[in-house]
Amino acid sequence: ERNIAMVFQNYAIYPHMSVAENIAFGLYTSGLDKAAKRKRVEEVGEVLGLTKLLERRPSALSGGQRQRVAIGRAMVRDPAVFLFDEPLSNLDAQLRAQMRLEIKRLHQRLGTTIVFVTHDQVEAMTLADRIVVMRDGHILQVGAPMELYEKPADVFTARFIGSPTMNILPAKAGHGTLQLDEAPLAWSAALPADVLVGVRPQELRVLGEGEGADLILSGTVAVVEPLGPETFVHVEAERGLLLASAPAKSPPTVGSAVRLGASASSLRLFDAKSERAL
């Protein structure tokens, strides 16, 4: 009655049925005759790249192909809304990336509303037009992906959206300043006495000799993570372990002392008690 089609995490396809039969199962109560069902199955199979696999059994398919069969069984009903329940969590990293692209293309082609449940913020950021962040059954924030990334409503959302996760540091405020490092940082807005300061690893960078920044923190490099075009360094500082970015071609070495800098505009402030954005 609600015309909602669901795609499950574990595929939920029948091993004793062929691909075509699994897809057609979505039409079980449709009232269509056999020829009409077959035509619809073939149309869906073509959209999902399953045409040559329609007579195979699920045991002969890869994980990604099985997921497409599950999507096909939902698609064949031509629903008003799709509900995807963590459909990519059982796939390896490379296949997840491929399936994200396929689902994105499918959505662009069909134009049907998709409600996509996931614990993977990369999936949420890359697939969604709007994200609903929930915790313990409560909605924390609703908005476009970049809106949540740039203006998180609370600490939980700030840490959940964005990879690597945002650094969160305790600080003291008073008399127009924010005390976070060796020197107070001027801050014009009124603030509570205890605040949390968020800064993303991409915006907290290793400073060169003599280089300055609005916010400067010092520490010792514990781990270096080269990732090709960028390098992240884990730094043991007075305020805990920090994650910062470093030049990919000349990163600091483990055990070296470094200075980390960030601009005031990159900082996100939260109330220390409520953890809500200020």
Structure tokens at 9: 């995490």
159-to-144, 155, 200, 263 alpha-carbon distances in Å: 16, 6, 9, 19
Give the number of other Cβ atoms within 10 Å of residue 197's Cβ.
Answer: 22
Beta bridge partners of 178: 173, 185
245-to-163, 184, 224, 242, 265 alpha-carbon distances in Å: 12, 23, 10, 10, 17
Q: Which domains does the chain have, with CATH numbers?
A: 4-129 (3.40.50.300), 167-271 (2.40.50.140)
75-to-72, 153, 156, 215 alpha-carbon distances in Å: 5, 35, 35, 52
pLDDT of the chain, 278 residues: tens digit per residue: 678 999 988 888 999 999 999 999 989 878 889 999 999 999 999 999 999 999 999 999 998 899 999 999 999 988 999 999 999 988 888 888 988 998 999 999 999 999 999 999 999 999 999 999 999 999 999 999 999 999 999 999 999 999 999 999 999 998 888 888 666 788 878 889 999 999 999 999 999 998 999 999 999 999 999 998 899 999 999 888 999 999 988 999 999 999 999 999 999 999 999 999 99
CB of 168 closer than 8 Å to CB of 155 = yes
